[in-house]
């Protein structure tokens, strides 16, 4: 079992969700996060004053999948989230030791 985490631009969320649904993903967790990487933030004007925005708004997706689904999920996210510009985001994969569905007490792959 694996946990695929992706940080993407917020306006790409609907496209990614649709691509993941088509790839057979039945659920995901979405969190609004802020951060920076190579993009390094930007400046904005507000009422004539210039402000530096260091942490940019992003969306974090956490998806639990079987090991055999990992490449399919990564490809779906890449195709749907990619704009070709700095700040498109990152994807990483972690091993999961145990997953338990609270309602039914199903474990591991049955709980995904």
pLDDT at 52: 76
pTM of the model: 0.85
pLDDT in tens, the chain (112 residues): 999 999 999 999 999 999 999 999 989 999 999 987 776 666 777 777 877 777 889 999 999 999 999 999 999 999 999 999 888 999 999 999 999 999 999 999 998 8
**Euclidean distance between CA atoms 41 and 43, whole angstroms:** 7
Length of the chain: 112
State residue 55's pLDDT score: 81
pLDDT at 41: 66
Domain boundaries defined on the chain: 2-111
Indicate the SS3 state at residue 54: coil
In degrees rounded to 5, what are phi and psi of residue 25? -80, 130
pLDDT confidence of residue 39: 65
Show the tokens assigned to 47.
């009422």
CATH class, 2-111 region: alpha beta
Check residue 76 and report its DSSP letter.
Answer: H
């Amino acid at each position: 079992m694996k946990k695929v985490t992706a940080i993407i631009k917020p306006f790409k969320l609907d496209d990614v969700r649709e691509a993941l649904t088509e790839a057979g993903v039945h659920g995901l967790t979405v969190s609004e996060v802020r951060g920076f990487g190579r993009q390094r933030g930007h400046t904005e004007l507000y009422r004539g004053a210039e402000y530096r925005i260091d942490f940019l708004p992003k969306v974090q997706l956490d998806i639990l999948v079987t090991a055999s689904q990992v490449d399919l999920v990564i490809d779906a996210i890449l195709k749907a989230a990619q704009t070709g510009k700095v700040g498109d985001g990152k994807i990483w994969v972690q091993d999961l030791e145990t997953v338990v569905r609270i309602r039914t007490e199903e474990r591991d792959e049955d709980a995904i």
